[in-house]
Amino acid sequence: MNTSQDSASLAGEAYLVLRERILRGELQIGKVISRRKLAGELGMSLLPVSEALMRLEFEGLLESRPRAGTRVRTPTKEDVRGHYVVREALEVEAAKLFAEKATPQEHAEMQRLAARVDALSTQTDGNRFLYLSLHEKLHRRIAECTRCQPLCDAIEKNHVLASTWLCTPKPASAGPSRGHQNLIDVLIKGDPRAAAEAMREHVAHALKNTLQRLEPYFQMGQTNGKTYARSPKRSGQPEAEPDSARDSRTANAAKNGN
């Protein structure tokens, strides 16, 4: 392997490690990434780590400012609304196709999965990652049952961006939910129009919950924006986490992650 191939494979490794940490919620919104520290931790030079950060920034998971470094992207309301416009378009289409194409075995599988997701939806922190994984699986399986691979790929890609938002601590739940079981009950009836409408409502509910949950971060984004501009440090090496509104997080009574 020549040097540039080495660097590319190391960059790929750094990319996967960082992406996993972001998706698992270990690196939360607004968290500053020190490329020097990361390079030391992974036993790499700065070059592959920088390449990995650029790739994650391109995918929308990170953001960077000149002289301020790179951090996990703090979403704006426009980011969130835009994401849900795309999610609605994709998942309403998936629901219609699911109603037409899913088999009775798949119906039964989805009912079991929806029951598990609903049972876990009242969890706040402990099983949050399990809930998120199963929830992602449920929406992915709906797409897979359409037998339309490009639609599955688009839904998965769109989901990755939102995963940093969903890893934020969940406010206290209003109680047990049948949200996903109700959705699946409609989808397995085989009526594409009813399926589309049920999914549209599900996604609209998810948008409302996500906006509520991220409200402290929208404020933090404004604060951090100022912090970034005012405290230029040595090139690309911020070590301190920006002052954030993390501790003053309000617990809006959003019902469930959707």
Task: Please spell the DSSP secondary structure of 174-213, one letter per residue.
Answer: SS---HHHHHHHHHTTT-HHHHHHHHHHHHHHHHHHHHHH
How would you classify the pairing of strands 32-33 and 62-65? unpaired
When the beta carbons of 56 and 90 are compared against Zn ion, the nearer one is 90
State how far the alpha carbon of 45 is from the alpha carbons of 39, 48, 167, in Å.
Answer: 6, 7, 30
Applying CB under 5 A, among 64, 74, 224, 258 the residue interacting with Zn ion is: 258
Which pairs from 23-27 meet CB under 8 Å and 24+ separation? 23/160, 23/163, 23/164, 23/167, 24/129, 24/167, 25/128, 25/129, 25/164, 25/167, 25/168, 27/72
For the bound state, the minimum distance from the C-beta of residue 205 to Zn ion, rounded and expressed in Å, comes to 9
Site map (CB under 5 A) of Zn ion, residues 199-238, x = contact:
----------------------------------------
When the beta carbons of 50 and 173 are compared against Zn ion, the nearer one is 173
For the bound state, the minimum distance from the C-beta of residue 91 to Zn ion, rounded and expressed in Å, comes to 9
For the bound state, the minimum distance from the C-beta of residue 127 to Zn ion, rounded and expressed in Å, comes to 16
When the beta carbons of 55 and 255 are compared against Zn ion, the nearer one is 255
Residues 51-70 that bind Zn ion (CB under 5 A): none
When the beta carbons of 124 and 250 are compared against Zn ion, the nearer one is 124
Structure tokens, 201 = 């409502």
- In single-letter form, the type of residue at position 18 comes to L
When the beta carbons of 8 and 119 are compared against Zn ion, the nearer one is 119
For the bound state, the minimum distance from the C-beta of residue 255 to Zn ion, rounded and expressed in Å, comes to 12
The number of CA neighbours under 13 Å toward the Cβ of 42 is 24
When the beta carbons of 178 and 233 are compared against Zn ion, the nearer one is 178
Nearest residue to Zn ion, scored by beta-carbon proximity: 258
For the bound state, the minimum distance from the C-beta of residue 93 to Zn ion, rounded and expressed in Å, comes to 16
For the bound state, the minimum distance from the C-beta of residue 7 to Zn ion, rounded and expressed in Å, comes to 40
For the bound state, the minimum distance from the C-beta of residue 180 to Zn ion, rounded and expressed in Å, comes to 6
**Which region, judged by CB under 5 A, interacts with Zn ion, from 9-17, 33-41, 164-172, 250-258?**
250-258
When the beta carbons of 11 and 113 are compared against Zn ion, the nearer one is 113
| 144, 168 contact by CB (below 8 A) | no
Q: At what angle do helices 128-144 and 179-187 cross, to 10 degrees?
A: 10
State how far the alpha carbon of 157 is from the alpha carbons of 26, 180, 193, 210, 219, in Å.
Answer: 20, 21, 25, 18, 27
Binding site for Zn ion (CB under 5 A): 258
